[in-house]
Amino acid sequence: MTDSILQMRDITKTFPGVKALQDVNLDVRRGEIHAICGENGAGKSTLMKVLSGVYSHGSYTGQILLDGQEVRFSSINDSEEQGVVIIHQELALVPHLSVAENMFLGNERRGRLGLIDWRQTNADAAELMARVGLRENPVTKIGHLGVGKQQLVEIAKALSKDVRLLILDEPTAALNDTDSEHLLGLLRQLNASGVTCIMISHKLGEIASIADRTTILRDGRTVETLDMSGPDTTQDRIIRGMVGRDLEHRYPERTPQVGEELFRVEGWTVDHPSQTGRRVVEDASFTVRAGEVVGIAGLMGAGRTELAMSLFGRSWGHYVSGSTYLHGQQVRMRTVDEAIDAGLAYATEDRKYYGLNLIDDVRHNTSAAALDKVSRAGWVNGLEELKVANDFRRSLNTKTPSVLSPVGKLSGGNQQKVVLAKWLMTEPEVLILDEPTRGIDVGAKFEIYTIINRMVAEGKGVLVISSELPELLGICDRIYTLASGRITGELPRAEATQERLMALMTMEKETAR
């Protein structure tokens, strides 16, 4: 029996200069978990925004049927009333408000006189939190929770709205394996209790494990819908649908040609910026050689980003001690421009906050860290800048109507490529990549790995921070593990396995080193 809870028919949505969706069809059965995948910019998020009323009826063409009835949402409130709730790719929580306040934001629990009934609010919040397995105090500030828990808060928030159809846009992109597992378990549980789910994800393993069916989008069109229990539905099959061709390897081949030591860090120690005396990175020492890809593995909160940012011109925390060497010479990098001059580059994991000026265009964002390369005596050569931006757009295969489009309008993965372009343009000796493939599709990941390989082939060094152990194992020559701010181990690729890395990453403080 095929009982559709949702049918989207011939959806077409255009933005100025872009046809984001063209005659897209989607059919979701009641009670299933339906995955949506496709390359960056394929239109996945846009389709879900159409469905949830973010783009109101009239701004697109086509029909949406919910339980066989046509619906015309003109806002999110309309869709939520019908039990359709979306959790966006970028979380929408207010860091300074408590968990409970966030949960009922815009939907406050009121008591007499229209005042907020705090007791009711916190009690309801606690109940919903219990349903998603979150054991925190409802008055905890959201900012104090990790991303994994914030994601759970979003789901709890959705539950407070009597959700029937839950849409999750890349819910696990920012989560580590443990948190992802937990989230997927929760989804299964919700699904069993009758909530239909639509989930966008670039993680094919996770799609294979959780989805009943998968719809693949490519360039704004539906390619096909696959039954995941079908005999020939393999990950390779999905990839072929997404990129339109077979992708033989997930990781490009590379014969390592490791040379001299390029970058060395000794005894790097950093304190928390506001909580005095709290060590975040302690006595970290490591090296990167020319032509080498070095990985840093660590759990969320291990201090990976903090280590990288503090190295990069001390842009995080209080420097306590430690020294850095390039080509055997000690270099001081006290500010970001000193670090850039020395030949360091750091591509952030948080592109919205640290990476991009979203209201400006692709061109200006590309040149933001290397304006001196396209200017003379303080004057920017606009033509040269345009040329360079276009070159990067082509070599990284960034999908944008033009380099003059605002970066904020690009899909998540393509924004990531702009961040990468910005740092490649500085022509660094050592490139630090913090979660470089977060939210990026398989095809683009391959492209990014290829770029990494190209860099090391030129004798540069690359330091990769990643939560995805298979990725580190796939591309690195050597991997360091970080736990509670200390380096707890170092494994060459030949000796590294997920299990051994995991064991080192979860090492307790006392036993470390």
Ligand X SMILES: Nc1ncnc2c1ncn2[C@@H]1O[C@H](COP(=O)(O)OP(=O)(O)OP(=O)(O)O)[C@@H](O)[C@H]1O
Give me the residues that bind Mg ion (CB under 5 A), please. Answer: 45, 89, 412
* Binder among 73, 268, 286, 346 for another protein (CB under 8 A): 346
Task: Give the HSE-up count for residue 505: Cα atoms under 13 Å, Cβ half-sphere.
Answer: 26
Maximum Cα–Cα distance across the chain: 73
* Binder among 112, 135, 249, 376 for another protein (CB under 8 A): 376
Instruction: Single out the residue of 160, 197, 161, 170 nearest to residue 91, CA to CA.
Output: 170
Q: How far is the CB of 47 from Mg ion (least distance, A)?
A: 9
Alpha-carbon span 296 to 481, nearest angstrom? 6
Is residue 92 at the binding interface for another protein, with CB under 8 A as the rule? no
* Binder among 157, 364, 399, 422 for ligand X (CB under 6 A): 399
Alpha-carbon span 304 to 467, nearest angstrom? 10
Is residue 214 at the binding interface for ligand X, with CB under 6 A as the rule? no
Is residue 420 at the binding interface for ligand X, with CB under 6 A as the rule? no
Give me the 87-106 binding string for ligand X, x by CB under 6 A, dash otherwise.
Answer: --x-----------------
**Contact partner, 20, from another protein, ligand X, Mg ion, none, Cβ < 5-8 Å per class:** ligand X
What is residue 116's DSSP assignment?
B
Q: How far is the CB of 330 from another protein (least distance, A)?
A: 21
Alpha-carbon span 117 to 110, nearest angstrom? 5
Indicate the residue among 104 and 312 with the shorter CB distance to another protein. Answer: 312
Q: Helix, strand, or coil here: 132?
A: coil
Is residue 203 at the binding interface for ligand X, with CB under 6 A as the rule? no
Task: Give the HSE-up count for residue 316: Cα atoms under 13 Å, Cβ half-sphere.
Answer: 20
Instruction: Considering only the stretches 33-41, 221-229, 311-319, 439-447, report the one whose residues sit in contact with another protein under the rule CB under 8 A.
Output: 311-319
Instruction: Considering only the stretches 40-48, 106-114, 121-129, 295-303, report the one whose residues sit in contact with ligand X under the rule CB under 6 A.
Output: 40-48
Are 40 and 444 contacting, i.e. CB atoms less than 8 angstroms apart?
yes
**φ and ψ of 252, to 5 deg:** -65, 150
Q: How far is the CB of 102 from ligand X (least distance, A)?
A: 23
Q: How far is the CB of 52 from ligand X (least distance, A)?
A: 13
Is residue 42 at the binding interface for ligand X, with CB under 6 A as the rule? yes
**φ and ψ of 300, to 5 deg:** -55, 130
What is residue 262's DSSP assignment?
E
Give me the 427-446 binding string for ligand X, x by CB under 6 A, dash otherwise.
Answer: --------------x-----
Alpha-carbon span 486 to 268, nearest angstrom? 10
* Binder among 30, 387, 454, 500 for another protein (CB under 8 A): 387
- Dihedral (C-alpha) 380, 462, 390, 359: value to the nearest 10 degrees? -70
Alpha-carbon span 146 to 301, nearest angstrom? 8
Indicate the residue among 145 and 410 with the shorter CB distance to ligand X. Answer: 410
**Contact partner, 399, from ligand X, another protein, Mg ion, none, Cβ < 5-8 Å per class:** ligand X
What is residue 281's DSSP assignment?
E
**Contact partner, 422, from ligand X, Mg ion, another protein, none, Cβ < 5-8 Å per class:** another protein
Is residue 40 at the binding interface for ligand X, with CB under 6 A as the rule? yes
Instruction: Considering only the stretches 176-184, 261-269, 277-285, 348-356, report the one whose residues sit in contact with another protein under the rule CB under 8 A.
Output: 348-356
- How many C-beta neighbours within 10 Å does residue 136 have? 17
The DSSP H or E segment spanning 294 is strand 293-298
Alpha-carbon span 235 to 37, nearest angstrom? 11
**φ and ψ of 153, to 5 deg:** -60, -40
Binding-site ranges for ligand X (CB under 6 A): 15, 18, 20, 38, 40-46, 89, 399, 409-414, 441
Binding-site ranges for another protein (CB under 8 A): 17, 55-56, 59, 309, 312-313, 315, 335-337, 339-340, 346, 348, 353-360, 364, 368-369, 371-372, 375-376, 378-383, 386-387, 390-391, 394, 402, 404, 422
